[in-house]
A and B are shown apart, each in its own frame.
Chain A
């Protein structure tokens, strides 16, 4: 009863109208750089790129958290690992030094992205296999603690900048496309985001997704009918880590900078907030959550340096009085109550 994600999401719109809305949204996102330059606000493109990239990370966390019920408080670790893959490969590309005795350095996005996804997935698999031996509140604490351990690992990694991080002087290259142009890189990020959301949609509707939802609702029942629940949870955790790795790799390119800050535990908290804000266990919710949280942060930060003193209580109020994030808030405003 206490788990809001157990409620089936009430469809706000019919399926046809929903598809139309999604198509409209997509068109809007694609033409956004033109609108931004028309409005004389080119900085919007950079903001939108951040939102699009963070939406990928939030959507991947949503698979574990919203659909699988795995409250991972260490999502920033996989995000940071993905970013470091880009940073390290770029460093070796520039210096020409060998990595693990092989000339692996590269600045090709089509190589670095899969590499980031793979490495993040491997990290998530290792730590997930351990963390999933626990559940409930222990799982929250353990994912947070392991993420902190990976954070310390990168802080201590003096060969790759340690505390100071790594600068990626030039964005990774793509054939036929100039990624150094900010609008172009926005479209590249948008492309990967759309691809990831489409993939998430397929995963959720697949047999795997149904089993995962079953595990969230009652793990004992699923185990009783013969489902190896541990493997399903681990698979969800690993896919979730891979998505975060993709987001991290894109962010490393966007910001042209990688540092342990990307793995900071507050980043994990922000990912969770994005998921909850937008609505856990809904496909597009995390994108909405990312947009609202980043938009709010940007707005508050422009207003006062101490914006967190406002954001913190806002979050508390949101958790206390709206169930199910923004859609809950909309329901509340409509007078529907809970």
Chain B
């Protein structure tokens, strides 16, 4: 039982990381109509910047803002130079142009940092573990990820539903030209919004550093999982992204934890059972997506209604 709780918590933690990425992706899509494959690259940039600064200064407290700033800066220049020209284009052009950006960022990162994965140490004040239930101590760092994810979700809600900037963002999504006619610099607004989405991805990258290895290609792995989240939750809906991310995170983690033992009981050969289990658990969330699609083609919580 403690094992199951631990894995469920790990799932929630993965879910919050996915939420940060999915929220950025779905925000940008829902409001600007752009599908940004390079969201995964921004995540990678956040992680690498954190790793680099942490290695130089030895301080996570300096490294984390650096990661956020790097991702936001990269995101805003990406918007200014490339994405801005894609708003009026179809999704195919957006996909291909941002695919080109991924190739560029991945290779540039390889040139700058090499192919060896980097590791970031868990900051000392978040090191250690706390007892959750009897017989289970859970790492503080992972709890911190959950807390930060939750705080970000609330902040995002407040930003969009309760502030003037959020009102402009919602208005811009409904009728871009009308907002502009009322004297709002919609281009600047979009750049800022893209920066917010980039920062969300960067935040996920910053937090991923100490628990995952920081390497080229980390962005795309998580990007495709993020797509699953967005499809399950409903494209363009932040609430959907929240629900979808938690579902995907928990299902993925639990399958990986439970399936090998289950199959080993059913099958005679242990190694074959392990191979099958790893395959099935890797495919699990995609099957979940297929099932959701069969029942609700627009996702669990589609935007606008």
Contacts and interface: CB of A to CB of B under 8 A. Distances in A.
Interface of A: 1-4, 65, 71, 73, 130, 133-134, 136-138, 140-142, 144-146, 148-149, 152-153, 155-158, 162, 265-266, 269, 272-273, 276, 280, 306-309, 311-316, 319-320
A308 B103 contact: yes
A315 B97 contact: yes
Contacts of B287: 149
B108 interface: yes
Nearest to A71: B92
A311 B283 CA distance: 32
SS class, residues of chain B in contact with chain A: helix
Given A308-B104, A319-B97, A2 B88 contact: yes
B269 to A, nearest CB: 11
B71 interface: no
A65 B97 CA distance: 16
Given A73-B95, A145-B286, A155-B279, 20 more contacts: A4-B90, A141-B235, A142-B227, A142-B293, A145-B228, A146-B286, A146-B290, A149-B283, A156-B275, A156-B282, A158-B272, A269-B96, A269-B99, A272-B92, A272-B96, A273-B99, A312-B100, A312-B102, A319-B89, A319-B97
B177 interface: no
A306 B235 CA distance: 35
A56 to B, nearest CB: 21
Contact of A319 (B29, B96, B275, B280): B96
B152 interface: no
B272 to A, nearest CB: 7
23 contacts: A2-B89, A4-B90, A4-B93, A71-B91, A71-B92, A71-B95, A130-B290, A141-B231, A142-B231, A142-B293, A145-B227, A149-B282, A156-B276, A156-B278, A156-B282, A156-B283, A276-B96, A280-B92, A307-B107, A308-B104, A311-B100, A311-B103, A319-B96
A234 B93 CA distance: 23
Contacts of A149: 282-283, 286-287
B91 A137 contact: yes
Contact of B106 (A142, A156, A308): A308
A313 B101 CA distance: 7
Given A316-B97, A320-B85, A138 B235 contact: yes
Nearest to B296: A133
A142 B291 CA distance: 12
Nearest to B224: A148
A141 B293 contact: no
B294 A130 contact: yes
Given A130-B290, A312-B104, A319 B283 contact: no
Interface in B102-124: 102-108, 110-111
B91 A157 contact: no
Contacts of A316: 82, 97, 100-101, 104
A207 B286 CA distance: 36
Nearest to A1: B88
Contacts of B286: 145-146, 148-149, 152
B93 A319 contact: yes
A4 B293 CA distance: 29
Contacts of B230: 141
Nearest to A316: B100
A46 to B, nearest CB: 24
Contacts of B88: 1-2
Nearest to B98: A316
B253 to A, nearest CB: 16
Given A156-B276, A320-B85, A273 B96 contact: yes
B169 interface: no
B293 A313 contact: no
A134 to B, nearest CB: 6
A291 to B, nearest CB: 18
B92 A65 contact: yes
B274 to A, nearest CB: 9
A315 B82 CA distance: 11
Contact of B95 (A130, A155, A272, A306): A272
